[in-house]
Amino acid sequence: MTKISLCIIAGNVEHYMPRFLASFKPLVDEIVVVQAIGNQASDSTLYIARAHGCHVAVYHNDPAHDWPHVDDFAAARNLAFSLASHAWVMWADTDDTISPHSIKQLKQALATAHRDTVAIAALYNVPEDGLCVYRERIVRKGHARWIYPIHETLDFSDEEKTHIMRVPAVIEHMPDLKRGRAANDERNARILESIDPATRTTGHTFHLFQSLRALGRIGDAIQIATGLLRSPPPDLGPPEHYELLIALSQLNDSPANRAQMLLQAVGVCPERREAYGELALAEIGLNRPEAMLAWTTAMMALPPPVGYLWNARAKYYGWCGVNLHAMAHRANNQHHKADALELNHFKAHGAKISLLHATRGRPALAAKARLLWFNRADNPDAIEHIFAFDPDDEASNALSLYRHVVPMDGSGASVGAWNAAAQASAGHVLVQLNDDFIPPMHWDTLILEAFAGKIGQPAALHVSDGHRTDDLLCLCIITRARYKQQNHFLHPRFKSFTATTIIPLWPTMTASSLMRATSSSSTITPTSKAVKDGTKLTLSTIPPNAWPKAKPSSPNSPDSIPIK
């Protein structure tokens, strides 16, 4: 029987270790944990590892690098690999998870691997970056070594590269939202800047640009990116060229200059959708709605890319592309067609969950929250989102290109807004949303699993905030059957959300591990799943004064409407 040694490096990650070990143990026969923490004091990571039967060791930085983190990822990983006992060696990060289905796929691949196979590559899903890339994940011992101190990679001979098997198993990157990315970006930039510029690879330079941008060192980031574009090295391929041009466009405050950079990106990869979508958004700042619609129409005509692209954003070929096209129609006062586009796409993908988002006076925060919920969904194509804001809320006109309703009851209250959004919804499950709610990763799957096959029955989901011990419902999540039974989302007698009086507690279903609040605000984070902020390629900021005035929307939810 083929045996696997899982060899990992770990920081002070006692919070990740139980989940990580529970996830990967069914796949492997041995686990080696090498702690690499620079000059930090150790937490209980190695204690937890030993308690689970892992072999442990410690990597020490070069004395010249008195840093609060590892100084050479490749050296630390090579140490871990050297301690493996079995013929096949696997790596992962402690904030990764793997499903039983993917475990089965990898075991089958190993069982059927040809004797010349030197490695098995699996997909690495990184939702916070909107990417799903192939990485060599399991290696025949002795056939590859790690190289580069940061953004390390396995080095194979040219001959061995032809004997790598690709398997569609998926390893999920599931980091903790609360910890943010700043520490990692600072670490990455420190290591990259310590490398002599004369010996930096093109990949190092590309990653340095990304780290500096994330840290807010915009001038330094722009200088590096423009240097790469002015004198492109031979190994700067079209995907990297494309990525740099789009990233630079997002750093430019001028819509006209942004459009010029995006046109260059289209010239590099005319078959890809991302730059067309960004061009459509740039046209808002230029007050050219017809041009916006022209760009999204061209974008929607492009099929998904043929072959593998490491930086392909699948969302532009799904929910995000449809949303952009619908926004362009609304910019041209074609609201009926826009609503039909989104509703047809939603229903074609199962119409699982409707997000009902009442907001007032905070358009930037509201738009950011909307994007966050889509980016963290497991199946965003089966999600619909509906804003609800009052007719006298001039600030929220900035949201009028998104799908929205404007309650006309004159109450100016949040309950009326949520109820108006519910009337316009079509999902099997209705979820209350505020500007400051933060979801766990794969929140949609967690909600659907919590209902445990009772989606068609009247039911409400009791989500814990992690603090309260009473039966207060901090968030309204109900099935459509429950909505029809009570004939409202929240009781119209009330003006604001008071869960104990608005939502009867029967019948509720408990999901105490789904979410919890971390402050006195309505911020929601998971207890059983970890999350991380943002994506690197996001929708550009849209200036509020560039949007058309909102118009009242029909409260009724029609069946799918064919677009003529």
523-556, pLDDT tens digit by residue?
333 333 322 222 222 222 233 333 334 444 443 4
Number of domains in the chain: 3
> Do residues 168 and 188 both lie within one domain?
no
Question: How buried is residue 501: exposed, middle or buried, by Cβ count under 10 Å (0-12/13-18/19+)?
Answer: exposed
CA 318 to chain centroid:
14
Judge whether 561 lies within some domain: no
Quote the radius of gyration of the chain (alpha carbons, Å). Answer: 25
Whole-angstrom distance between the N-terminal and C-terminal Cα of the chain? 60
Assess whether 32 and 88 both reside in one domain. Answer: yes
Which among 279, 318, 319, 323 has a CA at the least distance from the CA of 298? Answer: 279
Residues 125 and 39 in one domain: yes
Of 111, 110, 131, the closest CA to residue 121 belongs to: 110
| 556 domain residue, yes or no | no
Distance between alpha carbon 108 and the CA centroid of its chain, in Å?
A: 29
How do strand 88-90 and strand 131-140 relate by DSSP bridges?
antiparallel
Helices and strands: H and E segment counts in the chain: 18, 19
Per DSSP (E only), the strands in 36-186 are: 55-58, 88-90, 96-98, 119-126, 131-140, 145-147, 153-155, 164-173
pLDDT of amino acid 343: 97
Separation of alpha carbons 306 and 295, rounded Å: 21
Q: Answer whether 180's CB lies under 8 Å from 533's CB.
A: yes
Domain containing residue 170: CATH number: 3.90.550.10
- Of 158, 174, 190, the last residue of a domain is 174
Q: Which residue has the higher pLDDT, 408 or 385?
A: 385
Encoding tokens for residue 104?
A: 């089965």
The CATH code of the domain that includes 187 is 1.25.40.10
In a domain, 564, yes or no: no
Residue 141 located in a structural domain: yes
Would 553 be classed as within a structural domain?
Answer: no
Indicate the SS3 state at residue 228: helix
pLDDT tops 50 at residue 179: yes
Question: Do 190 and 285 lie in a common domain?
Answer: yes
The answer to whether residue 51 is domain-embedded is yes
H or E stretch at 433: strand 429-433
Q: What is the mean pLDDT of the chain?
A: 86
pLDDT of residue 521: 34
CA 483, 484, 486, 491 torsion-angle sign:
positive
Same-domain pairing of 376 and 478: yes
- Domain range holding 63? 4-174
**Distance between CA atoms of 494 and 483, rounded to whole angstroms?**
17
> In the structure, what pLDDT confidence band is assigned to residue 324 with cuts at 50, 70 and 90?
very high
Measured between alpha carbons, how far is 373 from 382 in angstroms, rounded to an integer? 12
